[in-house]
Every structure is written in C-alpha cells, then in structure tokens.
Amino acid sequence: MQIKVLGSGCANCKKLYKLVQDAVKELGRDDEIIYVTDMAEIAMAGVMRTPALIIDGAVRVSGRVPKLDEIKELLNAAR
C-alpha cells in the first residue's frame, strides 16, 4: 500500500507524517510512506488544503490532522 502525506512542511504536516509512521508501525505493516511538499504535485492530487493524507491514490483526509486511531482505521479500511 502506498501512503502519501501532502503538505508544505508546516508543523501540522510534519505531525501528520509522524502519526502515519506511528500508525503503520503499531499495525505491524510495511507500507510505503511518502512525504510530498511539492505544491504542483499537491495541486495535481486535487488537494486544496493541507495537510492531506492519500491512501492508494484516494484522498482520505484534507485540511486537518486526524488522531492516531482514525489513521489506523483508514489504513485498515483501505486494505
């Protein structure tokens, strides 16, 4: 599974990236996590507000930092 965290590099974007890493680790998975800061790539993904979380090409969260449990639920649901 490919997971992308999109953001400008702000504190909330970095927080989401860390939470995603923690969620993947806690679930015992080895998913690919990519941190995207390129604004052109973010715009091409259709994201208007960051931070954003994309799982296997689908935008799951945009404009907020979800809690760890919500991230784990999203990852399990996408499986």
Active-site choice (1, 10, 34, 39):
10
Mean pLDDT over 40-62 rounds to: 95
Q: Domain 2-78: state its class.
A: alpha beta
Mean pLDDT over 20-34 rounds to: 96
Mean pLDDT over 12-29 rounds to: 97
pLDDT of residue 5: 98
Q: Is 10 a catalytic residue?
A: yes
* Domain boundaries of the chain, sorted by first residue: 2-78
Active-site choice (3, 6, 13, 24):
13
In whole angstroms, what is the distance from residue 67 CA to residue 51 CA?
Answer: 13
Q: Is 54 a catalytic residue?
A: no
pLDDT of residue 79: 78
